[in-house]
């Protein structure tokens, strides 16, 4: 079912149609099983997860388990997109706060993440709202080289981190 759905998504994307895949119980069960079995998850599984019509908070445990592992950069970015959809978007809909398990797992991931994915991580941290301050020390502990300030991809990330720090300082006053 995942492979069929993946092909449908690719066809829709090729036609400039935004895929909105219904969260059927069968598909969700297969996705959960795939996330438990696959190390790393396949691109097909992650693509389907990212194109579901609505977030499913029951994917949280599986997604967090994949934050602890060293995967290729592209896979990590796909996982971060799924985290955005199924954890942060679900929280926005429910109005609930982020769980301590998520905050700890994501902070641990932040400390080990390669610089190439930090831009995406910062986006998730920004989406945490007031709870983003939990990641303040983790962001301060990041090591940047002098040459990083001259690389466009890192300069944008550093600028976003500075903006977060300014927001946190205003919150603490």
φ/ψ (deg, to 5) at 37: -90, -35
Q: What sections of the chain are H helices per DSSP?
A: 2-14, 25-37, 43-50, 60-67, 73-83, 90-94, 100-112, 118-127, 136-140, 152-172
pLDDT of residue 26: 96
pLDDT of residue 50: 95
Across 69-80, average pLDDT: 92
Q: Given a cut of 80, is residue 173 above it in pLDDT?
A: no
pLDDT of residue 172: 75
Q: DSSP class of residue 117? A: G
Band (pLDDT 50/70/90 cuts) for residue 171 is: confident
Q: Given a cut of 80, is residue 146 above it in pLDDT?
A: yes
Residue 166 CA, chain-centre distance (Å), reads 23
- Please tell me whether the peptide bond between 52 and the residue prior to it is cis, using omega within 30 degrees of 0: no
Under 8 Å between Cβ of 57 and 82: no
Across 77-90, average pLDDT: 96
pLDDT of residue 16: 94
Task: Give per-residue pLDDT as tens, 100-134.
Answer: 999 999 999 999 999 899 999 999 999 999 999 99
Q: Angle, to 10 degrees, between the axis of helix 152-172 and the axis of helix 118-127?
A: 30
Q: How far is CA 21 from CA 30, 51, 81, 108, in A?
A: 14, 6, 16, 31
**Global model pTM greater than 0.85:** yes
């Amino acid at each position: 079912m995942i492979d069929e759905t993946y092909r449908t998504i690719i066809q829709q994307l090729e036609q400039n149609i935004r895929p909105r895949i219904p969260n059927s119980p069968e598909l969700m069960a297969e996705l959960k099983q795939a996330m438990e079995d696959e190390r790393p998850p396949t691109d097909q599984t992650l693509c389907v997860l990212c194109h579901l019509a609505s977030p499913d908070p029951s994917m949280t445990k599986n997604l967090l388990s994949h934050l602890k592992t060293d995967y290729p950069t592209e896979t990590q970015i796909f996982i971060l997109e799924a985290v955005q959809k199924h954890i942060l978007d679900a929280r926005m809909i429910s109005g609930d706060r982020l769980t301590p398990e998520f905050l700890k797992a994501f902070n641990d991931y932040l400390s080990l993440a390669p610089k190439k994915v930090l831009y995406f991580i910062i986006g998730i941290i920004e989406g945490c709202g007031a709870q983003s301050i939990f990641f303040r020390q983790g962001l301060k502990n990041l090591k940047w080289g002098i040459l990083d300030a001259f690389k466009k991809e890192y300069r944008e990330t550093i600028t976003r981190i500075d903006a977060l720090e300014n927001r946190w300082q205003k919150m603490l006053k």
